[in-house]
Structure 1
């Protein structure tokens, strides 16, 4: 079943040559009262996983470089985000204090995170909103748009769920944002950022290996968007055994990276040329194919250069000669010591 799903995913990626179908607007919010080295409150807005601006409790709102002009031309957007951030800051801080009292947490720094936003399918028009909380890095609450209630996956979240459920006006506000306002914002941001948001970027692909007995990792970094697949082939046929795919991870510059490992312990030297790594990015016809080549692998265990080996060998020889000479000299001195002592004694005592 898993193999079939992978094949279907690859087929969809190959067939879809237009821009990505689903777009998203996401707000990732973190509250950490008592933290010393970071702001108590940080909120970051993402469009299609690319940050467009952030707000923190120290310096306020700051749009990203590509979005400065948009927020200058639409100051109402910046005002709205600033107001929402201020309100969220106070609300989350009060929620943490209530949780600490309920859970008898008297010491330490605690973290409350919130991720809310929406996805919009530009072909079907389908909209999916979400609002989720995490407390001390564990799932805490999730908002159900269908029932307009909060879901508590942990027993200690039930009291907070009941408190949230009691605020009926908050449900309507949440629903209005997730179903109407968030998609409207998203479409407006997509129109402005179309030039740089929907430009596909191909990655740099490298072959990596930690030790001679380690799997060979095919690593791609710097691609955009994050809708990509990567797999190993043998004689043009995709492999499912002996491979270990990794997750797609974000880079600091808004691009992404991923890797997939191939176990080469049973691959004979003459068979290496039959293997290759394939990277495919949604919306791009060009695929990156990297042959399994020992000379192209980047490692941490490369042999020392010949001049370094010669230098080390010469140093060892010199050290050995020095030690032998020193030992011989000490032995000679010990052998001569008694005679010298006798002659000196006779000179000092001529009568004896």
Structure 2
């Protein structure tokens, strides 16, 4: 399933929601690039069956790779993730109620779509995933607009819309039935063309107007190297970046590492910015080879990278200083004793000098 040369790739939906959302952010970026004057609105629908600890239906709406709307089958409520979206929809009091009703309808249809797909692929039970992405991008310099619609099933391309030829592309034999049905529905194609050329760009422009200060915000983080104990992995920790579309990884001799590396989730800070960490296991690395490693942070849409070389003196640790068997901090005791001893020696020398002065 392709739009021009791009492909829609399924994320691992057995991870937590934040990991899924992060992957979708990067996916949306890959689809339309990171041109400074290009804005995007992408809507991601995900339906699943028998996925543990995950809603059967999830909707995520993104503007410029930032989550602005969320709905899932557990809450059954469409709600904003950005304060400026409240202002953007004030002129339409029924907006959120209407969105909730629309998404509940999609929830019911997607549940049926999974059953249809299982029949076509001659499947019964087990874990299955259906995904749909639809959206548009707008270049505020040239005023050019583009639209995308793609579908995936169980991690593989299933169906996509080619707006140039006004036809559907079916890379799977099981999707050909749907392709022919949609190709013959000219009224539906006219609706799609209106959505991609009018409705979607107009709504996107409105959201960019209200959310400009947040949507165009790009904050680079501070990066630190942390280690709990000498045998613990070294954690490269970035905090204070915005938005949450970011990549972080370890390199050796300039090549990205995939082994002995543990990438953490992107987590929110209290001030609205984000943080993330990536750990490196150094148990099999000689100390003299540490400088061959560095940590790389990249914020989506920003060309600048942050490189942090692995050097022992840069590592911050919360390791406690050695204590004696009674739990007393040894340096805390030794230092005063040394000072007292030094003062005693000085006092003794002064005393001797005074005595010698009397007898000479």
TM-score bracket, shorter-length normalisation: 0.5 to 0.7
Q: Distance in 1 between matches of 2:76 and 2:94?
A: 19
Q: Distance in 1 between matches of 2:86 and 2:127?
A: 34
Alignment match, 2:96: 78
Relative to structure 1, the CA distance from residue 36 to residue 291 in structure 2 (aligned partners, 3 Å threshold; closer, same or farther) is closer
Relative to structure 1, the CA distance from residue 156 to residue 73 in structure 2 (aligned partners, 3 Å threshold; closer, same or farther) is same
Q: Distance in 2 between matches of 1:20 and 1:95?
A: 37
**Pairing 1:95–2:113 present:** yes
**Pairing 1:62–2:76 present:** no
Alignment match, 2:57: 41
**Pairing 1:193–2:211 present:** yes
Alignment match, 1:183: 201
Q: Distance in 2 between matches of 1:26 and 1:179?
A: 15
Could you tell me whether the CA contact under 8 Å between 1:222 and 1:251 is conserved in 2?
no
In structure 2, list runs of 5 or more residues that go unmatched: 1-34, 327-360
Relative to structure 1, the CA distance from residue 134 to residue 222 in structure 2 (aligned partners, 3 Å threshold; closer, same or farther) is farther
* SS state at 1:125 partner: coil
Could you tell me whether the CA contact under 8 Å between 1:222 and 1:257 is conserved in 2?
no
CA drift of 1:23 comes to 1.3
**Pairing 1:160–2:178 present:** yes
Per mean C-alpha deviation after superposition, the further-off stretch among 117-126 and 223-232 is 223-232
Deviations along 1:149-198, one digit per CA (max 9) or x if unpaired, are 22122232222322332322221212221222111111100100112221
Task: Note the aligned Cα RMSD (angstroms).
Answer: 4.6
CA drift of 1:289 comes to 5.8
| Pairing 1:256-271 to 2, within 5 Å after superposition | 268=288
Q: Distance in 1 between matches of 2:255 and 2:52?
A: 46
* SS state at 1:75 partner: coil
CA drift of 1:259 comes to 6.7
Specify which structure has the higher proportion of helix.
1
| Pairing 1:226-237 to 2, within 5 Å after superposition | none
Relative to structure 1, the CA distance from residue 195 to residue 32 in structure 2 (aligned partners, 3 Å threshold; closer, same or farther) is same
Q: Distance in 2 between matches of 1:87 and 1:123?
A: 37
Alignment match, 2:331: none
| Pairing 1:76-155 to 2, within 5 Å after superposition | 77-78=95-96, 81-155=99-173
- Alignment match of 1:295 (pick from 306, 313, 332): 313
* SS state at 2:218 partner: coil
TM-score, normalised relative to structure 2: 0.60
* SS state at 2:89 partner: helix
In structure 1, list runs of 5 or more residues that go unmatched: 1-18, 234-238, 312-352
TM-score, normalised relative to structure 1: 0.62
Deviations along 1:44-72, one digit per CA (max 9) or x if unpaired, are 21111111122334533222251234333
Relative to structure 1, the CA distance from residue 101 to residue 292 in structure 2 (aligned partners, 3 Å threshold; closer, same or farther) is closer
Could you tell me whether the CA contact under 8 Å between 1:27 and 1:43 is conserved in 2?
yes
Deviations along 1:98-124, one digit per CA (max 9) or x if unpaired, are 222222323235321111111122223
**Pairing 1:203–2:221 present:** yes
Alignment match, 1:10: none
CA drift of 1:279 comes to 5.5
Q: Distance in 2 between matches of 1:84 and 1:210?
A: 49
CA drift of 1:93 comes to 2.9
**Bigger Rg over Cα:** 1
